[in-house]
Structure 1
Amino acid sequence: MPSPELTHTFEIAASPEEVFAHLAEPSHYIGLSPLLVAVHDVRRSGGTVNYTAVERFRYLGVLRHDNIIDVTLVAVPDGLPHSAEISGEVRSPARVRMSYRFSIARHDVGSVVTDTLHLRTPPGLLRFAASQARAVQQARARVLTARLTRSA
C-alpha cells in the first residue's frame, strides 16, 4: 500500500496543557475536522481511548456518504507543562489507514503544534485520501486556533 506522510506545524496562543486537553477529548474532534460529524461508543482505558466516528463526504453537493471509522487515541501528558504528545490510528472500511501524531511544545506565543499524518491506502485511493487528509489538517489548525484563542 502507498504510504505518504503529511506534516503541518503551526503556532497557537494557548498553553500546551490547554492544547493537550482539547485534543485528548474525542468529542472535540467534531468540527475540528470538517468531515467529522459524530463521535460515539467512547471507551477509555488509562491514557488510551477507542471510539467510533462518522466522517461525512458530499459528492456534487447532493450525494452524501457517511464513512464509519474506528479511532484509537493515545494521550501522553508526561512532558507537561513543557510538551506532550497525542497519537493514534484511524481505520476506515475502505482499507484506508492513518496514523496520526500531535506533538505539542511550549513556545513564545503559547504552543507550537506539529500535526503529522501517515496514510496507507489501496493504490486507487491514495490521491483522494491524501487530498482530503491535507485539507483536514489545514482546517484543524485554523479551527483549533480559533477555539482556543476564543477561550483564552
Structure 2
Amino acid sequence: MPGTVLRHAFHVPAPPPVVLAHLSEPSNYVGLSPLVVAVRDVRREPGNVRFVAVERFRFFGLVKYDNLIEVTLRATEEGVEGEVDSPGGVRLGYRFGLTADGIGTAVEDVLTVHATLRPALRYAVRKARQVQVARADILVGRAPTLT
C-alpha cells in the first residue's frame, strides 16, 4: 500500500501537560481539524480511546459529503498518537510529539498516509497537509484558553 509521511513542527505557548490534556480529549478535535464537524461514539478502553469523527467535505461549493472515520487515540508521556481508518482505503497514522520548550511546548505533528490507490493517496495527502498546517494555527490560537 503506497504511503507518504508528512511532518510539521510548531510552538504552542502552553505547557506540555496542558497541550497533552487538550489533544487527549476527542471532543477537542471538532474544529481543531478544519474538516471535523462532530465526534461521536466515544469508547474509552484501557490505553485507548476510540471514536467516530465526522469529516465534512464540500465539492464545488454545493455538494456536501460527511465522511465517517474511525479514530484510535493513545496518550503517552511524550504526546498523543493513533490511527485513522477512513472509507476508500485511506489509512493514517498520527503522532503529536510534545517537548517542553521555554514557557511552552514544541509540537512535532507527524502523519503517515496510506491508500490502496494512488489517486486516493494524492488526494488524501493534499488534504492531510492542509489540515496539518491549519491545525497548528488553530492549536496556537486556542492556547490562551487551554486549562
TM range (shorter): over 0.9
Partners of 1:142 and 1:124 lie apart in 2 by 28
Unaligned runs of 5+ in 2: none
Q: Quote the residue 1:135 is aligned against.
A: 130
> Pick from 64, 67, 90: which aligns with 1:96?
90
| CA deviation after TM superposition for structure 1 residue 47, in Å | 2.7
| CA deviation after TM superposition for structure 1 residue 151, in Å | 4.2
User: Retained in 2: the 8 A contact 1:97–1:120?
Assistant: yes
With normalisation by structure 1, the TM-score equals 0.92
Partners of 2:19 and 2:4 lie apart in 1 by 26
Please report the RMSD computed on the Cα atoms of aligned residues, expressed in angstroms: 1.1
User: Retained in 2: the 8 A contact 1:55–1:69?
Assistant: yes
> Counterparts of 1:115-130 in structure 2 under 5 Å?
115-121=109-115, 122-130=117-125
User: What is the CA deviation profile of residues 59-115 of structure 1, one whole-angstrom value per residue up to 9, with x for unaligned ones?
Assistant: 1111011101100001113xxxxxx22100000111100000000000014110000
Q: In percent, how many aligned pairs have the same letter?
A: 47
Q: Quote the residue 1:10 is aligned against.
A: 10
Report the AA paired with residue 23 of structure 1.
L
Partners of 2:80 and 2:146 lie apart in 1 by 21
Check if 1:147 corresponds to 2:138: no
| CA deviation after TM superposition for structure 1 residue 46, in Å | 2.4
TM superposition outliers: structure 1 runs of 4+ over 4 Å: none
Q: Quote the residue 2:44 is aligned against.
A: 44
Report the AA paired with residue 115 of structure 1.
D
User: Retained in 1: the 8 A contact 2:53–2:71?
Assistant: yes
Report the AA paired with residue 98 of structure 2.
I
Check if 1:75 corresponds to 2:75: yes
Report the AA paired with residue 100 of structure 1.
Y
Report the AA paired with residue 123 of structure 1.
R
With normalisation by structure 2, the TM-score equals 0.95
Unaligned runs of 5+ in 1: 78-83
User: Retained in 1: the 8 A contact 2:50–2:71?
Assistant: yes
Partners of 1:65 and 1:112 lie apart in 2 by 34
| CA deviation after TM superposition for structure 1 residue 16, in Å | 0.2
Report the AA paired with residue 80 of structure 2.
I
User: Retained in 1: the 8 A contact 2:18–2:146?
Assistant: no
Q: Secondary structure at the match of 1:138?
A: helix
Q: Quote the residue 1:29 is aligned against.
A: 29
